[in-house]
Homo-oligomer: A and B are copies of this chain.
Amino acid sequence: MTAAGTTDGVGAMTRAAVLVEALPYIERWHDRVVVVKYGGNALAGAAPGEADGDALASFAADIVLMRSVGIRPVVVHGGGPQIGSLLARLGRASRFVDGLRVTDAETLDAVRMVLLGQVNPDLVAAINVRGPVAVGLSGADGRLLVTRPVDPELGFVGDVAEVNSDVLEHLLGRRFVPVVATVGVDEAGQAHNINADTAAGAVAEALRASKLIYLTDVEGIRQDPDDPSSLVPTLSADELDGLIASGVVTSGMVPKAVSCLRAIRNGVGQAHILDGRIPHALLLEIFTDEGIGTMVTLGGGPAR
């Protein structure tokens, strides 16, 4: 289906072994909601040009395969790099405070145009090449994401105050794949920019998702940030608290880690941080015994 490996030369015993391992997960995850945060960073490690397309196609294939075996995936996305790029073309600087983009009215226009008018329909189109299943949404649709202001200094930046998941649930109930751009609206209908990691966690909570998966450009959480061999495969919520407190989890990983913790503690079964650059990372996580990346559960432990 995609170029990432063929089964030529794979023996019957190996095939049977992979199948015997994978099939029980079909039943386990049937009808379950899996929220996947797909970010610009997931693509960052890919080579320029066609490679991006390959990564997007592999991701789209995984989403369609997940759906085809009865899983209910929801895609949540931001688009930081692409917003920066439009602002640059318009001759405007990007300014950040504590990692959040300062968003005045014109910046907000750019955010909306990029996320709703470019990234979202591109993701939808990539998935729909394989069948008419993806439906793009923003936080304004059915007032999916209602915001409250974060800080006057930041302008139109909002926190998620409420998730109206009705429209998501109806689409999932009909086997559509919602693709959500993280622009919300406040009570008065005013648009606000929302951090996509936080929004993904809030959506997963509202849907009581079985899994929340962050596709990033690192292979997971490391015990020693500089040692690739120190990947931590499973963590309890308390252990992750400790890693954040001790500074082992840093910078861009912090909002993801915090969102994982909050989601896990509010009813989401499992949260994952995976390397989105690995072809078919989603399938490997979901359908193999060891999975990949780092999994956080309430109690931790090796049970997947």
Report which A residues bind B (CB closer than 8 A): 1-2, 4-7, 10, 12-24, 26-27, 30, 61, 65, 68-70, 109, 112-118, 120-121, 124-126, 128-129, 132-138, 140-144, 164, 166-167, 170-171, 174, 176, 183, 185, 188-191, 278-280, 283-284, 287-289, 292
Contact = CB atoms under 8 A, between A and B. Distances in A.
A78 to B, nearest CB: 14
Contact of A5 (B17, B279, B289): B17
Given A19-B22, A22-B22, A142 B138 contact: no
A171 to B, nearest CB: 7
A185 B26 CA distance: 29
Contact of A142 (B4, B10, B132, B284): B132
Contacts of A15: 18, 284, 288
A190 to B, nearest CB: 8
Contact of A24 (B65, B70, B141): B65
A18 B13 contact: no
Contact of A23 (B21, B30, B68, B144): B68
B113 A167 contact: no
B20 A16 contact: no
A140 B118 contact: no
B132 A143 contact: yes
Contacts of A144: 132
B279 A16 contact: yes
A212 to B, nearest CB: 21
Q: Which 7 A-B pairs have the closest CB atoms?
A: A117-B117, A113-B117, A113-B113, A132-B143, A5-B17, A16-B280, A5-B13
A185 B125 contact: yes
B128 A140 contact: yes
B16 A283 contact: yes
- Max count, chain B CB within 10 A of own CB: residue among A15, A118, A176: A15
A144 to B, nearest CB: 8
B7 A189 contact: no
A72 to B, nearest CB: 14
A14 B17 CA distance: 12
A23 B171 CA distance: 23
